[in-house]
Amino acid sequence: MYIMSMIRLVNLTKRFGKTVAVKNASLEIEKGEFVVFLGPSGCGKTTTLRCIAGLENPEEGEIYIDGELVNDLPTLDRDVGFVFQHYALFPHMTAYQNISFPLRAMKYKKASIEKEVMKVAGLLRIRDILQLRPSHLSGGDLQSVALARALVIKPKVFLLDEPLSTLDAEFREEARTMIKKTHLEIGATTIYVTHDQMEAMAIADRIVTMNFGKIQQAETPENIYHNPANMFVANFIGSPGMNFVDCALEGKDTMKLGLDGKTLKVNEAIAKKIHSTGKESNLVMGVRPEDLDLNMKKNEYGFPMEVMIVEELGPENIINLRSGDHTLKVLTDPHIVPKSGETVWVVPDQERIRIFDKETQVEIL
Amino acid sequence: MKLDQAIRRKRKKGLKIAGQIVIFVVIAIVFAAYIFPIFWMGVTSLKTKVQIFDTKPTIFFKPTLKNYRIFIGTEESGEVGAGRAGAATSFIAAMGRSILITVTVTILSLLLGTMAAYILSRYKMVAKDDLMFVILSTRMLPPIVVLVPISLLFTNIGLKDTFIGFLLLYTMFNMAFSVWIMKSFFDDVPFSFEEAAMCDGYTRLRALIKVVLPMVKPGLAATSIFCGIMVWNEFLFAIVIGTRKWVFMPPTIFTMSYGTEGIIWGVLASSSLIYIVPVVVFVYLVRKNLLRGITFGVIRG
Amino acid sequence: MPGIKMKKVVKTFGKITALNEIDLDVKEGEFFVLVGPTGAGKTTTLRVVSGLEKIDTGTIMLGDEDAVDLSPADRDVAFVYQNFSLYPQLTVRQNLEFPLKSPLHREAQEVINKRVESVAELLHITPLLDRMPDALSGGEMQRVGIGRAIVRHPQVFLMDEPLSDLDAKLREELRVELRQIQSELKTTTLYVTHDQVEAMSMGDRVAVLNEGVIHQIGKPQEVYSNPADLFVASFIGLPKMNFFSCKVAGNGAAELELENGLFKIGLSNEASKPISKLSKKDGLILGVRPESVKLHAEKGTGRFQAEVLFLEHFGSMNIVNLQIGEKILKARTRPTYHANTKDKVWLEFEEDRIIIFDEDTGKAVPRT
């Protein structure tokens, strides 16, 4: 039996004047899935979300919610709950009134309104602030009230637009865990928009990466991390992102690097694979910072670079290296603290090297 | 399914076009309603007395510039101004006086209002909201209520029929608008702009002039238009306090349009029409500056 | 390049005490980070050092000079704001020139041009020089804002959360660039942020501030490994440190009972010495960071059991959310670690990374 997906986008395109905000976006989201739209500012993620909600009208393409074509349906008929980035709470109403607002608009009876509001308030632990106005609430509470207001109508789809961006860094972890727990308990299909890849990695069932209006890759966090489809995804995901060095294959086992002519020895397996693709130059080598080792002594399977800045973050260090105009980041244990100006040899884990085509930026190995 | 969608989409497009036509028609009607009186004034100003009183209003007729010649003063008409006692002066002179008072009052209101608004925007004050309210309250009374007391006051102080008297009076009328509009524009400019300039070594005043004022240009434009139009059109106090020497255009149009046999429509039309022209020109010149928010920030997706 | 010395600085706004006897000593050429939650008093500290606010009592010295009566212009400090304050009616180049045209500087146009160009190169914004601010992205605007501060060659940089409005990725890049630029210019810098990762990454030294009071000053690693009190321990470090209520079980502090008997851990003689010296045996809190919680598949000495709730995959590491009874704790593991919800695992705390706090005072018990 064919189980219909909860949300389906087919060739969605949205323009603002001459700018194309979303280009040919096609996606299917299953019921109960927690999907994160991830990308830099201006990539189209919020616009896509707003199209699904009905707050924007796409120029082309179709949007299906629970099998129904909703392009011509106004927002209130789409059964979606929307949490805005800046909450959009009514300042002259109490938290209780804000949360009950959608229910009152739908003419629920007073008794059932109270029941539903208290249920949601209990879930989000905001029972004791229900009588306060937004001006008296902390950032975290405001966010919980906004969440409650979206949840109270038990929507089919739950849409959140960068809900944590206004919170201080220290509250984001808690709030994020709370949203994830709420999802685990209620199981609503959720789309969450953010530019913070750490957030995305932590809570997503699937991450949909976007750039310049186009969907780049839509897969589980693990897959996106270990098998990025192109250079944008590889660099955007990961803290810090993947390092890239121009390279070309020379001979049987040597790569010439775009770092002032330095060379790197690679094992045969890699050389063979590159050879078999037919393309041996105009390549880009990608290695993640945690897959690079630092050696004090010369190593053929590595290349030398100068230490610039060491960031000691506590549980780990980021070593920033430089060669001419190129920079590289290496993730190490906290006890590795080279001195600024020192030369060290960077040795990549051969099993974890990825190769990209320089022009298309797509992965070929 | 696909055909159904295609039909739905076409219908949607059709509705869109129909909607746009309706909006266009509505705007055309409203526009016509505004423009027609002025158009009719123009037509009337080119008619002779006989043509004006013709029972069949016509648009096609033989135009005459007589009313305009009377305006400039090259044609004498014993009728003009004969119906009312009082200072019947030349139109041109009255126009000159109107221009003078409008420009000076506008500049003065702008200057004082902006300075007051800046202080009110930037500094902490006890009961600031109350003060703002008091300033606004000066415009809550219909001016006619204070007509008699001010007229008497001016006579006693010796400000009646003087340039200074009008300057003070009109500026006072304008302060409420000036302060309120400029304060709201200043409030929109974050104080960090001046602070950054002060850290760089600018004094507060220079920071205000070089940094903040360029950013509130729309406010200055809006205020000058409001104040200017207010003074330009002011009739009540002009006719009561401007008795002999300082007779401005609105009272002049009024008195000069009264003839021995009633209102001289032609002259009324021509003089009013000419009087509108400077305002239209001014607003046209300033129109770009009325656009707000051209500068701050980039839109994010 | 002078240092900044603040002694017993107090600043009140009406009834609110924003700064409560702040003592700060920023050395010459140091990149000093003031970190704390919103409302802690960080921005007030910057404004007081810059001269934009006056203090109630205390002294502020810039180098050897008493700065208290100096105007902001005379203090020769440059402010970088969180919300880009670029003059919207000027081009990028004109924005960069602006500080150099002030009454205080009055440089020749040639000198100005040279400086503007060298700063633009340093910040990689040379192609943007003739653009208007509304044609710039957030990151570009912030670079210009930093450039405008640098172009004056001031004695001190004061930066108020300049990166917090930027995308996460951009923040990662810019914080290294900013640090690199500062270390080349060697300008004394006081940098304020609420993001403790930024503080750890950028500071030569950091000060943790809360409600107008400084809790600890030290090198980032020092503050991370040896927090002075509960506030510092919970504010610094992501994910947050795990905390358990703690009681000495007997045996001269060799055994600790956690969470009212939920589980027990044993300590070696070395580790138990400082605790045995304490007069109170109850009302303590044990803190241990997620990376110091070790997971094992089997039972062993000193290990106790917990159940897996869910895993968070971050690519370069995993965070395992575990549950013991009602209590939730987090452990940090290699990315290859795998476990399913409801799996049972055995936990062990790395002994030399455990910190004991007094619940009443909040202060940490020193390890020696």
Cα–Cα–Cα angle for C95, C101, C105, nearest 5°? 130
- Looking at CA atoms only, how far is residue A64 from chain B in angstroms? 13
Task: Tell me if C179 sits within 8 A of C6, measured CB to CB.
Answer: no
Q: Which has the closest alpha carbon to B243: B99, B80, B87, B89? A: B87
What one-letter code names the amino acid at C295? L
- Check A45 against B8: CB less than 8 A apart: no
pLDDT at B231: 94
> If pLDDT is split at 50, 70 and 90, which confidence band does A184 have?
confident
- Check A309 against C183: CB less than 8 A apart: yes
* Terminal-residue alpha carbon distance, chain B: 33
Return the higher-pLDDT residue of A354 and B294: A354
With a CB cutoff of 8 Å and minimum separation 6, the contacts of C230 are C243, C285, C287, C357, C362, C363, C364
> If pLDDT is split at 50, 70 and 90, which confidence band does A35 have?
very high
List of chain A residues whose C-beta atoms are within 8 Å of the C-beta of residue B301? 21, 41-47
d(CA B3, CA C77): 69
- pLDDT by residue (tens digit) across A247-301? 888 877 888 888 887 888 888 888 887 887 777 888 888 999 999 999 988 888 8
Q: Is the pLDDT of residue B299 over 60?
A: no
With a CB cutoff of 8 Å and minimum separation 6, the contacts of B32 are none
pLDDT at B294: 37
The architecture CATH gives domain B91-290? Orthogonal Bundle (1.10)
List of chain A residues whose C-beta atoms are within 8 Å of the C-beta of residue C186? none
Shortest CB distance from C194 goes to which of A41, A169, A318?
A169
Q: Is the pLDDT of residue C261 over 90?
A: no
d(CA B258, CA B268): 9
Report CA-CA distances (Å) from B24 to B28, B59, C218: 6, 26, 70
pLDDT at A210: 95
pLDDT at A365: 63
Shortest CB distance from B301 goes to which of A44, A62, A69?
A44
Report CA-CA distances (Å) from B41 to B28, B56, B249, C241, C326: 20, 16, 17, 82, 86
Does C13 lie at the interface with B, CB-CB under 8 angstroms? no
- Check C52 against B215: CB less than 8 A apart: no
> If pLDDT is split at 50, 70 and 90, which confidence band does B293 have?
very low
- pLDDT by residue (tens digit) across B258-275? 777 778 888 888 888 889
- Average pLDDT score over residue span A327-331: 93
- Looking at CA atoms only, how far is residue A240 from chain C in angstroms? 7
> If pLDDT is split at 50, 70 and 90, which confidence band does A122 have?
confident
- pLDDT by residue (tens digit) across A57-67? 999 999 999 88
d(CA A94, CA A100): 10
pLDDT at B5: 60
pLDDT at A1: 45
List of chain C residues whose C-beta atoms are within 8 Å of the C-beta of residue A179? none
Shortest CB distance from B200 goes to which of C88, C98, C141?
C98
- Check B300 against A41: CB less than 8 A apart: yes
Task: Tell me if C9 sits within 8 A of C58, measured CB to CB.
Answer: yes
Task: Tell me if C346 sits within 8 A of C327, measured CB to CB.
Answer: no
Coil/strand/helix, residue A127: helix
Q: How many CA atoms within 13 Å lie on the side-chain side of C348?
A: 14
Shortest CB distance from A21 goes to which of B5, B8, B301?
B301
Going along chain A from its start, the domains and CATH numbers come out as 7-236 (3.40.50.300), 243-357 (2.40.50.140)
With a CB cutoff of 8 Å and minimum separation 6, the contacts of A96 are A117, A121, A130, A131
List of chain B residues whose C-beta atoms are within 8 Å of the C-beta of residue C81? 192, 196
List of chain C residues whose C-beta atoms are within 8 Å of the C-beta of residue A236? 169
| Cis omega (within 30 of 0) for bond into C239 | yes
Task: Tell me if A159 sits within 8 A of A53, measured CB to CB.
Answer: yes
Q: Which residue of A has its CA nearest to B299?
A: A42
Handedness of CA C168, C169, C175, C181 (dihedral sign): negative
Task: Tell me if A63 sits within 8 A of A8, measured CB to CB.
Answer: yes
Give me C271's structure tokens.
Answer: 């580790």
- Looking at CA atoms only, how far is residue A324 from chain B in angstroms? 34
Q: Which has the closest alpha carbon to C308: C329, C283, C282, C287? A: C329
Cα–Cα–Cα angle for C75, C77, C78, nearest 5°? 150
Residue the block writes with tokens 């000593």: C25
d(CA C165, CA C137): 12
Q: At what angle do helices B163-187 and B147-157 cross, to 10 degrees?
A: 120
Task: Tell me if A6 sits within 8 A of A189, measured CB to CB.
Answer: yes
List of chain A residues whose C-beta atoms are within 8 Å of the C-beta of residue B297? none
pLDDT at B89: 67
- Looking at CA atoms only, how far is residue B122 from chain C in angstroms? 14
Lowest mean pLDDT, pick from A68-82, B133-147, C72-86? C72-86
Q: Is the pLDDT of residue B301 over 60?
A: no
- Average pLDDT score over residue span B127-138: 88
pLDDT at B6: 66
pLDDT at B58: 67
> If pLDDT is split at 50, 70 and 90, which confidence band does A50 have?
very high
- pLDDT by residue (tens digit) across B202-229? 888 888 888 888 888 888 988 998 899 9
* Terminal-residue alpha carbon distance, chain C: 38
> Mean pLDDT, chain C, as a whole number?
88
DSSP E strands in chain B: the ranges are 258-259, 262-263
- Looking at CA atoms only, how far is residue B257 from chain C in angstroms? 49
Does C14 lie at the interface with B, CB-CB under 8 angstroms? no
Q: Is the pLDDT of residue B295 over 50?
A: no
- Looking at CA atoms only, how far is residue A225 from chain C in angstroms? 6
d(CA C9, CA C44): 11
List of chain B residues whose C-beta atoms are within 8 Å of the C-beta of residue C72? 195, 198-199
Give me A193's structure tokens.
Answer: 């928009």
Does C355 lie at the interface with B, CB-CB under 8 angstroms? no
d(CA A330, CA A267): 21
Shortest CB distance from B198 goes to which of C72, C83, C137?
C72
Q: Which has the closest alpha carbon to A117: A132, A107, A104, A133? A: A104
- Check C102 against B200: CB less than 8 A apart: yes
What stretch of H or E contains C47?
Answer: helix C42-50
Residue the block writes with tokens 């000069």: B256
Going along chain C from its start, the domains and CATH numbers come out as 4-231 (3.40.50.300), 242-358 (2.40.50.140)
φ and ψ at residue B149, rounded to 5 degrees: -60, -45
pLDDT at A363: 74
- Check A43 against B8: CB less than 8 A apart: no
Shortest CB distance from C134 goes to which of B199, B202, B295?
B295
- Average pLDDT score over residue span C323-330: 88
pLDDT at B119: 92
- Average pLDDT score over residue span A27-42: 92
Return the higher-pLDDT residue of C210 and B138: C210
Q: Which percentage of chain C shows pLDDT scores above 90?
A: 33
User: Which chains sit next to A, with 3 or more Cβ pairs under 8 A?
Assistant: B, C
| Interface with chain B: mutation pick from A14, A72, A194, A210, highest number of B CBs within 10 Å | A72
List of chain C residues whose C-beta atoms are within 8 Å of the C-beta of residue B216? none
Lowest mean pLDDT, pick from A144-153, A165-174, A292-301, C288-297? A165-174
> Mean pLDDT, chain A, as a whole number?
87
List of chain B residues whose C-beta atoms are within 8 Å of the C-beta of residue C105? 200-201
d(CA C137, CA A131): 41
Q: Which residue of C has its CA nearest to B202?
A: C102
d(CA A108, CA A99): 13
Q: Is the pLDDT of residue B244 over 90?
A: no
Lowest mean pLDDT, pick from A249-263, C70-84, C248-262? C248-262
Coil/strand/helix, residue A89: coil
Q: How many CA atoms within 13 Å lie on the side-chain side of A359?
A: 3
What one-letter code names the amino acid at A18? K
User: Which chains sit next to B, with 3 or more Cβ pairs under 8 A?
Assistant: A, C
Does C191 lie at the interface with B, CB-CB under 8 angstroms? no
- Check B296 against C134: CB less than 8 A apart: yes
pLDDT at B291: 66
ipTM for this model: 0.87
Task: Tell me if A33 sits within 8 A of A204, measured CB to CB.
Answer: no
Q: Is the pLDDT of residue B82 over 80?
A: no
pLDDT at C84: 65
> If pLDDT is split at 50, 70 and 90, which confidence band does B300 have?
very low
Does A28 lie at the interface with C, CB-CB under 8 angstroms? no
pLDDT at A75: 84
Q: Which has the closest alpha carbon to B64: B76, B52, B79? A: B52
pLDDT at B292: 60
d(CA C91, CA C132): 5
What one-letter code names the amino acid at A135? S
Give me A83's structure tokens.
Answer: 């949490």
Shortest CB distance from A41 goes to which of B5, B8, B301?
B301
Q: Is the pLDDT of residue C291 over 90?
A: yes
List of chain B residues whose C-beta atoms are within 8 Å of the C-beta of residue A45? 301
pLDDT at A28: 93
Supply the DSSP string of C100-137, one letter for each residue.
Answer: GGSTTT---HHHHHHHHHHHHHHTT-GGGTTS-GGGS-
Does B8 lie at the interface with A, CB-CB under 8 angstroms? yes
- pLDDT by residue (tens digit) across A67-119? 888 988 888 888 888 888 887 888 888 999 999 988 888 888 888 889 989 88
